[in-house]
Amino acid sequence: MQLEKIYEPGRFEPHWAQWWIETGMFHAVPKPGKYFSLVIPPPNVTGSLHMGHMLDHALIDMAVRWHRMSGDNTLWVPGTDHAGIATQMVVERELAKEGITRQQLGREEFVKRCWKWKEIYQKRIDDQMKRLGSSCDWERERFTFDPGLSRAVREAFVRLYEKGLIYRGEYMVNWCPRCNTAISDLETVHTTTQGHLWYIRYPYAGGTIVVATTRPETMLGDTAVAIHPEDARYASLHGRTVTLPLMDREIPVILDQLVDPKFGTGIVKVTPAHDANDFEMGKRHKLPFIKVIDESAAMTPAAGRFSGLDRFEARKQVVAELRQLGLIEKIEPYTLSLAVCDRCKTPVEPLVSTQWFVKMKPLAKPAIDAVDDGRIQFIPANWTTTYHHWMDNIRDWCVSRQLWWGHRIPAWYCDDCHQLTVSREDPTHCSHCQSGSIRQETDVLDTWFSSGLWPFSTLGWPDDTEDLRAFYPTTLLVTGFDILFFWVARMIFLGLEMTGEVPFRQVHLHGLVRDPEGQKMSKTKGNVIDPLTVNEQYGTDAVRLSLVQGAASGMDISFTPDRMDASRAFANKIWNAARFIFMKMEAAGVEPRIPSSPALACLEDRWIHNRLQNAIATMNSSLEQHRYHEAADAIYHFIWDDFCDWYIELKKLRMRDGSGYDDNWRDLLFVFEHALRLLHPIMPFITEELWQRLRNADSPLSIALTNYPSADLSRLDPSADSSMATLQAIITAARTLRAELVPGNVSALPATLYTHGASSQVVTAAREAIERLGNVKLTLEQGSTPHLGGAVRSTPEFDLVLHLPAADTNALRTRLEKEIEQLHKAATNSERQLSNDEFVRKAPEQIVTNIRAKLADYKAQLAKSRATLEALGQ
C-alpha cells in the first residue's frame, strides 16, 4: 500500500483509460426517466486532436461524469466528421507527394484513398480520446459518412426538396479556383488588402466618362455603366450608350439606386457575370451576362485577345493597354476587403454557376423563435445577439460542392426529357418519362449538411429508434464559438425542420485555446501544442484541471506552463495526502473502508464537515450553472487549504500508531472519500486510482459509478466554524509574531494566552494544537488585561503575548506601531462611514451593526496596543 513520494500520472492513467473502456461502463441503455445526452462535436478526420479538442472534451467529460454520478441516464455519443473539402485537400496533398493528381487517379480510386485516410485518422482520434479518459459510449460511435448517417442525409435532402426548400439554379456564387468548387459565404474570409482604384475613361458620343474600379480586368465583361437616377451631374447621360474600350462594345448607361454618387466618380462599370452587385443589377436591367473568367481563374474566349491569361496577368495587360491608349485618368491606392477561400486563402472569384441551394428564410424563422422563447439557451447568453444578427440576415445556403469526397447529391438528370429525379433510393429510370438514360448529379453536399443532422442522425433518425425516444432532444452541446454559424445554427434549423424539436436545450460556447503569448495556435505559426505531449509531461488530470479553470467566462484561454505546474502540484498534493493516510492506516492497523457517516467527535471533524458540505453545495450549483472555474476553485481550496493544511495537521496530533479504527479514522476517510468523488469529474484518473484503494467490497465497480455527493445541510454546526476560526486565529497570531520577531528561531517559545468569553473553552480543549502548530509553550489566563511584557497580538477574543528570549525593544516597538497604524486606519474608516447620517439611515441594519461592533473592537484593541507601547517605552 506504500505510495511513491511523487505522483507519476503516466503510471496510472493509461491503465484506467483502458479499463474504463473494457468494462463498458459508459454504455448507455435507453430507458424512461431523467436523462442527460450530448453528442460530440465530431472532430474532422483530417488529422489528430489539438488542444482545442482537449478543452472541449475536458468540459464535456466533466459535465457527463457529473450527470452520470448524479443519477441521470447519461449518454455521450462519440464520432468523427468526414470534413469534405478539408479531407479532400489533405489527401490531394498526399497524392502530390507521390506526384499524382486526383484527376489521374479517378473519382472512385480517389474516394478509396480518402477512406483509407479516414481509417488511419479516426483510429488516431479515438486513441487520443480514450487516453484523455473521455467517458463516451464507444458502442455508439458514428461517422458522418457511414451508411446510417448517409441515409439520414438523403432523407433530409429529399424532404427539403419535396417541400420546395431546395432548388437548383444559376446564381452568383463564391468560387475557389484552387479548390475548384463553389463555397458558401461562410467559407470565405475577408482580409484587408492594399489595392488600387483605377479610374478609366469610357468614351461616348459627347466626350468621355470616368469609372472607378478595383478590378480592371473585369471590364472585359462589362455590359453597362450605372449612375444614380438623381445624380444631377450625369443627367445628360440618361438613355445614352458608351463605348467599352478594348472591346469596342456599345454598352448602355443604366440608372440604379445601388450606385453611391459619393463614391469614386459616381459612375460604376457593371460586370454582371463577375460581381454580386452587378449580378443583381444585370438581372434588374436585363443586361447580357458575359463570362470573361473561367473556373480556373483564366480569361475565357469572351475576353478576346486576353483569352487564356490568368486573371491577375490579364489585369496587368488590360491596365497597360489602357494606359497606352491614354484611358487611365489616375490610379489611387485603395484598401479593400478581399474575399479569400477559408481553406486555401486563394482570392475567391464570384462566378455565375449552376448550384444547389437551401432556401433559408422559411427555415430561419423557427430557428430564431426557438432561441427567443428559450427552448434553446446559449451560455454565455450574449451569443444570442450574435446568433440573431446572423439568422436575421441569412441568405440562401449554397450546398453543392464540386468535390469527390462527400455525400453525392441524390438527384438524377434525364438525358431524354431533361427533367430531374430526386429520390431516397437510387432510381433506375427517369421518374418523368420513364427513360432509363439517367445520370446522377456529380456534385456532393457541403460537409456541414451532414453534421447539421448529427444530434439526431447519430441516434438513428430517420427511423423512430429507442435511442431517439430516450435521448432526443439532447441536453447540452459544448463547442467552440467559432462554429456557431457553420454548425450550431444549422443543427438548430435542420433539427427543427426534420424532427420538429430542438436538437439540444443548452449550448455552451467556449473560447479558443491560445499559446502563452495569446496567439492563436496554428500549424503555420508552429505554436501548436500536442495534447499528448502535455499530458505526458503534466498528466492528463492536471491538464484537464488547468483547462477547466481557464474556461471561465467563455473567453479564450492562454495555455501557459505555469498553470500546468500548479495543477500538477495539486495532483501531487492529493497523492501525498493519500500517502499520509495510507501510511498511518498501516501503522494503526486499519483496513481501508469507506464509512457511511462521520463521527463528528472533535472540533476539527465538525468544522471540516461544514466545509465539506459547503464545497459540495458549491460544486453542484457551479456545475449546474456552467460556472466551471468556480467548481474547480471550490474543490481545489477545500482539498488543499481546509483538508490538507488544517484538517490533516490537526488530525496528526490525534493519530496514534497501533490505535486501530477509531472515530478519527471514520471522519478522515469519510471526508477524503467525498473529496475524491467531488473531484472526479474534473480529475478522473487520480481519483479513480486512489478511490480503488479505499473501496468497500460492496462499493460500485468504479468511482465513476458512485453517487455524486449532495449537500446535507441539516448537520451543519455553525458553532464549530466560529470555534475553529478562533483556533486558527490564535495559531496564526503565534506564527506571525514568531516570523516577524524571531525569524530563524525554531524552538518553542513561551507565550501567555489571555482569553475572553467563549474562546476560553476552545483554547482549553485545543491547547496542544496551539502549542504544536503555533510552536509555543502556553500559559493560559482568563481576563481582559494582558500581561504587557512581550510581543502582543490582540483580537476581540484573545490577547497573545509571546515571551521572547532576549527582547529586542526596537523590533517590538516596530511591530506594535505597525499594528496600531493598521488598527487606526480601520477605525478611522469605520468612523467615517458611521458619521454619515444618510448611510446609517439607509443602509441595511446588519451592515451598520457590523461596522459599529468592529469599531468598538478596533478601539479596544487600539487602547491595549497603545498601553503596551507606552509600557515598552518605560
Contacting RNA within 230-289 (CB under 7 A): 258-261, 263-264, 266, 268-269, 275-277
Q: Which is nearer to RNA, 39 or 749 (by Cβ)?
A: 749
Give 462 or 550: the residue with its C-beta nearer to RNA: 550
Q: Cα dist. 748→483, 726, 778 in Å?
A: 63, 21, 9
Cell of 255: 440608372
Report residue 439 as a C-alpha cell: 445520370
Binding mask 424-463 for RNA (x = CB under 7 A): ----------------------------------------
828 binds RNA (CB under 7 A): no
CB of 631 to RNA, least distance (A): 11
Q: Which of residues 192-231 bind RNA (CB under 7 A)?
A: 212-215
Binding residues for RNA, rule CB under 7 A, total 89
Q: Which of 104, 337, 761, 779 binds RNA (CB under 7 A)?
A: 337
Considering the complex, state which of residue 276 and residue 594 has its C-beta at the smaller distance from RNA.
276
In the bound state with RNA, the residue whose beta carbon lies nearer, of 209 and 571, is 571
In a 3-state reduction of DSSP, which class is residue 656?
A: coil
Q: Scanning residues 550 to 579, which ones bind RNA (CB under 7 A)?
A: 550, 552-553, 555-558, 560, 562-563, 565-566, 568-569, 571-573, 576-577, 579
Q: Give 95-158 as a 3 state SS string.
A: HHHHCCCHHHHCHHHHHHHHHHHHHHHHHHHHHHHHHCCCCCCHHHCEECCCHHHHHHHHHHHH
Is the separation of the CB atoms in 823 and 865 below 8 Å?
yes
Look-up of cell digits 473501496: 695
Q: Which is nearer to RNA, 458 or 535 (CB)?
A: 535
Length of the chain: 874
Of 20-28, 86-94, 181-189, 448-456, the window that binds RNA (rule: CB under 7 A) is: 181-189
Residue 688 CB, shortest distance to RNA, in Å, is 19
- For RNA, what does the binding mask look like between residues 642 and 681, x meaning CB under 7 A? --xx--xx--x-----------------------------
In the set 851, 862, 868, 869, which binds RNA (CB under 7 A)?
851
User: Interface with RNA includes 315 (CB under 7 A)?
Assistant: no
Q: Is 265 exposed, middle or buried (0-12, 13-18, 19+ CB in 10 A)?
A: middle
Question: Which of 120, 847, 856, 871 forms a contact with RNA (CB under 7 A)?
Answer: 847
Q: What is the 3-state secondary structure (H, E, C) of 556-585?
A: CEECCHHHHHHHHHHHHHHHHHHHHHHHHH
Q: Is 488 in the site for RNA (CB under 7 A)?
A: no
Q: Cα–Cα distance between 778 and 626 in angstroms, integer?
A: 49
Instruction: Determine the interface stretch with RNA among 53-61, 119-127, 138-146, 730-738 (rule: CB under 7 A).
Output: 730-738
* Closer of 197 and 867 to RNA (Cβ): 197
Among residue numbers 574 through 603, which ones bind RNA (CB under 7 A)?
A: 576-577, 579-580, 583-584
Name the segment binding RNA (CB under 7 A); options: 95-103, 105-113, 469-477, 742-750: 742-750
The residue from 485, 628, 670, 754 that contacts RNA (CB under 7 A) is: 485
Site for RNA in 365-394 (CB under 7 A): 382, 385-386, 389-390, 393
| Nearest approach, Cβ of residue 860 and RNA (Å) | 13
- Enumerate residues 685-714 that contact RNA by CB under 7 A: none
Q: Restricting to residues 607-646, which ones interact with RNA according to CB under 7 A?
A: 627, 629-630, 633, 640, 644-645
CB of residue 346 to RNA, shortest distance in Å: 17
CA distances from 590 to 327, 572, 581, 831 (A): 98, 24, 10, 57
Q: Residue 39 is placed in which grid cell?
A: 453528442
Q: What is the C-alpha separation between 394 and 392, in angstroms, rounded?
A: 6
Q: Phi and psi of 507, rounded to 5°?
A: -125, 115
Q: Nearest approach, Cβ of 363 to RNA (angstroms)?
A: 16
**CA separation, residue 721 to residues 6, 760, 785 (Å):** 33, 16, 26
CA–CA dist 607, 649 (Å, integer): 14
Half-sphere exposure of 652 (CA within 13 A, CB side): 14
Closest CB to RNA among residues 437, 519: 519
Q: Which of 96, 325, 739, 856 binds RNA (CB under 7 A)?
A: 739
Nearest in space to 12 (alpha carbons), one of 694, 592, 691, 583 = 691
Distance between CA atoms of 136 and 27, rounded to whole angstroms? 8
Contact status: 757 vs RNA (CB under 7 A): no
| Residue 310 binding RNA, by CB under 7 A | no
Compare residues 39 and 182 and give the one whose CB is closer to RNA: 182
Nearer to RNA, 118 or 490 (CB): 490
Determine contact, residues 78/86, Cβ cutoff 8 Å.
Answer: no
By three-state DSSP, how is residue 602 classified?
Answer: coil
Assess contact for 545 and 683: CB atoms under 8 A: yes
Find residue 729's DSSP bridge partners. none
Q: Cis omega (within 30 of 0) on the bond before 473?
A: yes
Please, what is the Cα angle at 781 between 776 and 785, to 5 degrees? 110
- Sign, CA dihedral 314-296-446-289, equals positive
518 touches RNA (CB under 7 A): yes
580-599 burial, b at 16+ Cβ within 10 Å, e below that, comes to bbbebbeebebeebbbeebb
Residue 842, interface with RNA (CB under 7 A)?
yes
Shortest distance, position 648 Cβ to RNA, whole Å: 4
Q: Which of 199, 204, 289, 839 binds RNA (CB under 7 A)?
A: 839
- Nearer to RNA by Cβ, of 392 and 591: the residue is 392
Cβ proximity of 813 and 869 under 8 Å = yes
Measured from the CB atom, the residue of 143 and 198 that comes closer to RNA is 198
Q: Write down the least CB distance from residue 94 to RNA, Å.
A: 28
In angstroms, give the least distance from the CB of 31 to RNA: 34
What is the Cα–Cα distance from 801 to 871, expressed in whole angstroms? 14
C-beta separation of 70 from 708 below 8 A: yes
* 431 versus 558: smaller Cβ distance to RNA: 558
Helix (H) or strand (E) holding 383, with range, is helix 383-392
506 binds RNA (CB under 7 A): no
Nearer to RNA, 213 or 620 (CB): 213
Q: Which is nearer to RNA, 313 or 649 (CB)?
A: 649
